Amino acid sequence: MIRNFTARFALLLLALALPCWASEPRELDWPALIPEGAPIIPPQLAPLHDMAQLSNALSAEAAPPARQQAPDAPVVKGLDGQQIKLPGYIVPLEVSEEGRTTEFLLVPYYGACIHVPPPPSNQIVHIFSEMGVRVEDLYQPYWIEGKMQVRASSSELADAGYQMEAEKIYVYELK
Amino acid sequence: MNPPLIELQDLVFAWPGQPPLLEIPALRLDAGEALFLKGPSGSGKTTLLGLLGGVNLPGQGRIQLLGHDLATLGQGARDRFRVDHTGYIFQQFNLLPFLSVRENVELPCRFSRSRAERARLRHGSVDQAATELLAHLGLNDPTLLARRAGSLSIGQQQRVAAARALIGQPELVIADEPTSALDADTREAFIRLLFDECRAAGSSLLFVSHDQSLAPLFDRHLSLAELNRAAKPREA
Amino acid sequence: MYLLRLALASLANRRFTAFLTAFAIALSVCLLLAVERVRTEARASFASTISGTDLIVGARSGSVNLLLYSVFRIGNATNNIRWDSYQHYAKDPRVKWAIPISLGDSHRGYRVMGTTGDYFSHYQYGRRQHLELSQGREFADDPFEVVLGAEVADALHYKLGDKLVLAHGVAAISLVKHDDKPFTVVGVLKRTGTPVDRTLHISLAGMEAIHVDWHNGVPARGAGRISAEQARGMDLQPAAITAFMLGLNNKIATFSLQREINEYRNEPLLAILPGVALQELWSLMGTAEQALFVVSVFVVLTGLIGMLTAILTSLNERRREMAILRSVGARPWHIAGLLVLEALALATAGIVAGLGLLYAGIALAQGYVQANYGLYLPLAWPSAHEWTLLAIILGAALLMGSVPAWRAYRQSLADGLSIHL
């Protein structure tokens, strides 16, 4: 009797655990979207304190803009089809009548000053959400969960990039 | 032998911070009796009626209604006891002016299941009970029954009040100066009607008034001033 | 419930005061709901005005300003941008489509917009809806053709073939008109519920043609004047436009293109993402909206306190009523319950009447608001949010009702059966 019960209980536990185990999304951070070996341009988030560097910053500004980032940054093809979750800031593209954002770009930082180039294309995710999310504050980061889709570049037209259909969107809170 | 309807023993009552208002060693009312109690205003009769109704509790002594010691019942239980077994008639403004005559009469049955039961048993329905009682008291006109109670004359209102007090055959009817607002002609007629109905229902009547001339109509008459040891002699 | 019957009968006895109280509550509820509705509808209508556009580019000013004048036709541009700047980006391989627009004229208060056929093919609103014609066609080769938005055609009773004269500037009453070059209505657009309905659309050539003899900001006189016929034969390529909209092949390129445009060496340009600019607009309006909401809440509170006062003052007169009820067997909590029910009955009546007032108001004002502010107020059932507000008001009334209920409870205990004469 006891043996039967233990066996059944263990089976039950396993059955319950399996689905959770299988669908637990993989938590990513933004550097994970950049393939190994590709040059990482660290975003300059700190303001300029050292005035000796001022001339460098100014000359960077004076340079022609086309030089400032690659039009088509490389992507990590291995992420295609994976169930992931990623935190980021929402830049709304389409807003429904009820005020829900149904299409947006997810970026690693928001509101950076002009001295910094915008995020390169492998640090932006183009996300669709049928239900949408009500974005009250652009400075609020969110967790996005869903299946990542990677489109490799076909030409110089910068078609490449990360895309996703969001399954879960929830507020990112500091723990 | 039936227990007395009302039995007071060594009752003492004082309002907080004041000298005793009532000191009554004994008072008794039997079933089916009609008792006249002479009590001018200020003699503590209102307080006594309140005690008999279970509104207040005595400081000392015992009040028993139908064998039940009121002091043993909680506030809510006393309220229920009162409506189950007592009907009241006041001097005036007895009725809720915004309800119809019929609805006014039926009020006690809304709040007391036992009275509603008794009314149904005797008359078939609460509605019937109201109609018949009012008819006995001389109010037959159906349109009158549907009218707002506030539109009736004083004499009619007092009779409606009597019907209300009697519906559901409560064991005790307490009438506090019910005829003082009526003129002399209607006074006696009213009392006769009241007696008839009380007898028909088997209810006792405790009639409190300052009008001594009515006393001979009753089985017994007492004077609160004599009963009450705490009463101060008034006569000069 | 018999207590409810008693409460209502008692209220009916005091119907004048009861009516006033309920009416005060009704007015305040109507105000609160109206404010909330207008707020929600305004947001919805703003949100649904533009869709599928990735960047809007204009002369460098503020992002909210650019959004407002280019999409909502509110406010004015500070400067124009050169045609070759537009061409530069229209030809960019990252750009799928580009729509140039030119603003600055009006017709009887409605704004005139010069644009190309791309506007009708690519502009979207709401949920990716394209513009559709209800009558006629888009403007074609003749520069003096105009396509009307639905509201313009309805309000001014224009039909195909009618001629109209455009005015310079955007005031409702214009003093300077382009009356030597009248336009013919060739098309009317279907209603969109957006500012498109309140716009007259002409070609860029047409926009050039009416200003071809305007130098120094005033129309030329005498020999300087160029007739419509002459203008038709001239080269009507615009040198400058007010703004342009871009749709991209890949949305991920949005940021980098935006940054490039903002740093364009040849001219000071500003590129905005409409979604982001809209969000900034919300946060600007947010404070005003909250203030308005708070004021309405206070008005409702005032109405409820009026009810509380009315019930409290009536308590004294009703002591007799209470004593009679006590004498026929009502317990003290029956009395308290009566008063709570009264408060609830008054509040419910006020809420229902308030809703009625709201719907009546919307039915009456719908047309006017739509025509003058482009805001459509639907006659819809209350939303979940509105139901919540009403439930809270009822709850507050319940709380208020418990104050006189408590007083009456104590009084009825103290009074007992004595009926004060």
C178 pLDDT higher than 80: no
Beta-strand relationship, C218-219 and C214-215: antiparallel
Please indicate whether, in this complex, the C-beta atoms of C250 and A93 are within 8 angstroms of each other: no
C304-335 in b/e burial notation, b at 16+ Cβ within 10 A?
bebbbebbeebbeebbbbbbbbbbbbbbbebb
What gap in Å lies between CA A173 and CA B28, rounded to an integer?
A: 80
What gap in Å lies between CA B161 and CA B143, rounded to an integer?
A: 18
Select from A72, A89, A94, A116 the residue whose CB has the most chain C CBs within 10 Å, as the one to mutate to test that interface: A94
Please indicate whether, in this complex, the C-beta atoms of B96 and C321 are within 8 angstroms of each other: yes
CB distance C110 to C199 below 8 Å = yes
A63 pLDDT higher than 50: no
Nearest to C387 by CA among C353, C351, C344, C363: C351
3-state secondary structure chain A: CHHHHHHHHHHHHHHHHHHHHHHCCEECCHHHHCCCCCCCCCCCCCCCCCHHHHHHHHHHHHCCHHHHCCCCCCCCHHHCCCEEEEEEEEEEEEECCCCCEEEEEEECCCCCCCCCCCCCHHHCEEEEEEEEECCCCCCCEEEEEEEEEEECCCCCCCCCEEEEEEEEEEECCCC
Beta-strand relationship, B204-209 and C95-107: unpaired
Nearest to C208 by CA among C226, C186, C187: C226
- Asked which of C221-230, C246-255, C326-335 is least confident by mean pLDDT, the reply is C221-230
Contacts of B58 (CB under 8 A, 6+ apart): B11, B12, B13, B51, B71
Neighbours of chain C (3+ CB pairs under 8 A): A, B
A/C touch flag: 3 or more CB pairs below 8 Å:
yes
- ipTM field: 0.86
pLDDT tens-digit series, residues C246-303: 999 888 888 889 989 999 999 999 999 998 888 888 888 888 889 989 999 999 999 8
Report chain B residues whose CB lies below 8 A from the CB of C324. Answer: 93-96
> CA-nearest residue of chain A to C279?
A138
B/A touch flag: 3 or more CB pairs below 8 Å:
no
C/B touch flag: 3 or more CB pairs below 8 Å:
yes
Cβ-nearest to C263 among A65, A97, A159: A65
The predicted model gives B219-226 an average pLDDT of: 84
The torsion angles phi and psi of C225, rounded to 5 degrees, stand at -75, 140
A172 pLDDT higher than 70: yes
The predicted model gives A69-82 an average pLDDT of: 74
Cβ-nearest to C276 among A69, A126, A138: A138
CB distance C180 to C225 below 8 Å = yes
- Secondary structure (3-state) at C55: strand
Beta-strand relationship, A161-171 and A101-107: unpaired
Beta-strand relationship, C81-82 and C95-107: unpaired
Q: How many CA atoms lie within 13 A of C245 on its CB side?
A: 23
Q: How far apart are the first and last CA of chain A?
A: 46
A44 pLDDT higher than 90: no
State the pLDDT at residue C89.
Answer: 93
Report chain B residues whose CB lies below 8 A from the CB of C327. Answer: 53, 88, 90
State the pLDDT at residue A71.
Answer: 52
What gap in Å lies between CA A103 and CA A144, rounded to an integer?
A: 13
The predicted model gives C6-11 an average pLDDT of: 89
Q: Which residues pair with A143 in a beta bridge?
A: A87, A170
Report chain B residues whose CB lies below 8 A from the CB of C419. Answer: 90, 93
B235 pLDDT higher than 50: no
pLDDT tens-digit series, residues C280-295: 888 888 888 899 899 9
What gap in Å lies between CA C80 and CA C242, rounded to an integer?
A: 5
- Secondary structure (3-state) at B223: strand
pLDDT tens-digit series, residues C91-114: 999 899 999 999 888 888 788 999
pLDDT exceeding 90 applies to what percent of chain C? Answer: 38
Nearest to A144 by CA among A93, A81, A86: A86
What gap in Å lies between CA C181 and CA C134, rounded to an integer?
A: 26
Q: Which residues pair with A86 in a beta bridge?
A: A144
Element spanning C296, H or E? helix C274-317
| Backbone region of residue B202 per phi and psi (left: phi > 0; alpha: psi in -120 to 50; beta: other values) | left
State the pLDDT at residue A65.
Answer: 39
What gap in Å lies between CA C161 and CA C183, rounded to an integer?
A: 9
Please indicate whether, in this complex, the C-beta atoms of C421 and B107 are within 8 angstroms of each other: no
State the pLDDT at residue B229.
Answer: 79
The predicted model gives B28-32 an average pLDDT of: 86
Contacts within 8 Å (CB) and 24+ apart, B11-19: B11/B51, B11/B58, B11/B60, B11/B61, B11/B62, B11/B63, B12/B58, B12/B59, B12/B60, B12/B61, B12/B230, B13/B47, B13/B51, B13/B56, B13/B58, B13/B59, B14/B59, B15/B47, B19/B230
Tell me whether residue C10 is exposed, middle or buried, using C-beta atoms within 10 angstroms of its C-beta: 0 to 12, 13 to 18, 19 or more: buried
Please indicate whether, in this complex, the C-beta atoms of C47 and A97 are within 8 angstroms of each other: yes
C88 pLDDT higher than 80: yes
What gap in Å lies between CA C222 and CA B102, rounded to an integer?
A: 98
Cβ-nearest to A126 among C252, C264, C283: C252
State the pLDDT at residue A69.
Answer: 45
Helix, strand, coil percent values for chain B (each to nearest 5): 45, 20, 35
Q: Which of residues 195-234 of C touch A (CB under 8 A)?
A: none
pLDDT-derived band at C215, boundaries 50, 70, 90: low
State the pLDDT at residue C272.
Answer: 93
B42 pLDDT higher than 80: no
Number of H helices, E strands in chain B: 9, 9
A22 pLDDT higher than 60: no
Asked if C310 is an interface residue toward chain B (Cβ–Cβ < 8 A), one would say no
State the pLDDT at residue C188.
Answer: 94
**Of residues C123 and B138, which shows the higher confidence score?**
C123
Distances (CA, A) of B189 to B24, B158, B199, B219, C48: 32, 12, 16, 17, 84
B130 pLDDT higher than 50: yes
pLDDT tens-digit series, residues B103-117: 999 999 988 889 899
What gap in Å lies between CA A103 and CA A58, rounded to an integer?
A: 36
C173 pLDDT higher than 60: yes
Report chain C residues whose CB lies below 8 A from the CB of B92. Answer: 421
A38 pLDDT higher than 50: yes
pLDDT exceeding 70 applies to what percent of chain B? Answer: 97
Tell me whether residue B73 is exposed, middle or buried, using C-beta atoms within 10 angstroms of its C-beta: 0 to 12, 13 to 18, 19 or more: middle
> CA-nearest residue of chain B to C2?
B110
Q: Please give, rounded to a whole number of angstroms, the shortest distance from the CA of B210 to a CA of chain C.
A: 17
State the pLDDT at residue C224.
Answer: 60
CB distance C11 to C342 below 8 Å = yes
> What does pLDDT average to over chain C?
86
Question: Using beta carbons and an 8 Å cutoff, which residues of A are at the interface with C?
Answer: 64-66, 68-69, 71, 91-99, 101, 104-105, 107, 117-121, 124, 126, 135, 137-138, 156-162
Nearest to C31 by CA among C373, C351, C308, C278: C351
**C-alpha C396: how far from its chain's center?**
30
- Asked which of B61-65, B159-163, B169-173, C166-170 is least confident by mean pLDDT, the reply is C166-170
Please indicate whether, in this complex, the C-beta atoms of C12 and B98 are within 8 angstroms of each other: yes
**Of residues B43 and C402, which shows the higher confidence score?**
C402
B236 pLDDT higher than 50: no
pLDDT tens-digit series, residues A94-112: 888 778 889 999 988 876 5
State the pLDDT at residue C189.
Answer: 93
State the pLDDT at residue A67.
Answer: 36
Neighbours of A1 (CB within 10 A): 5
The predicted model gives C15-39 an average pLDDT of: 92
Report chain B residues whose CB lies below 8 A from the CB of C9. Answer: 96, 98-99
What gap in Å lies between CA B205 and CA B208, rounded to an integer?
A: 10
Select from C255, C259, C285 the residue whose CB has the most chain A CBs within 10 Å, as the one to mutate to test that interface: C255
C22 pLDDT higher than 90: yes
What gap in Å lies between CA C398 and CA C344, rounded to an integer?
A: 6
Neighbours of chain A (3+ CB pairs under 8 A): C
Task: Count CB pairs under 8 A between chains B and C.
Answer: 63
